[in-house]
Amino acid sequence: MNIIYLLIIISLVLIVVIFCFFLWAVRSGQFDDLEKPSHQILMDNDDTAEKQD
């Protein structure tokens, strides 16, 4: 029965740590623009090819 209390305490500590990391990620702007990197791969730099000619 003592192991259950230990596991509950460990799980609560892990939840707090994960929540702190999530708040840090939100405040540092990790989730601001999720679509730009995926669209940026598809964009082609045609302007630079025309300037080189």
| 11-39 per-position pLDDT tens digit | 999 999 999 999 999 999 887 877 776 77
**Has residue 4 got a pLDDT over 90?**
yes
pLDDT at 46: 63
pTM assigned to the model: 0.58
**pLDDT of 32:** 81
Which positions ≥6 away from 31 have C-beta within 8 Å? 25
Give the separation between CA 31 and CA 25, rounded to whole angstroms: 7
User: Which phi and psi (to 5°) does residue 19 adopt?
Assistant: -65, -40
The Cα 9–Cα 15 span in angstroms is: 10
pLDDT at 49 over 60: no
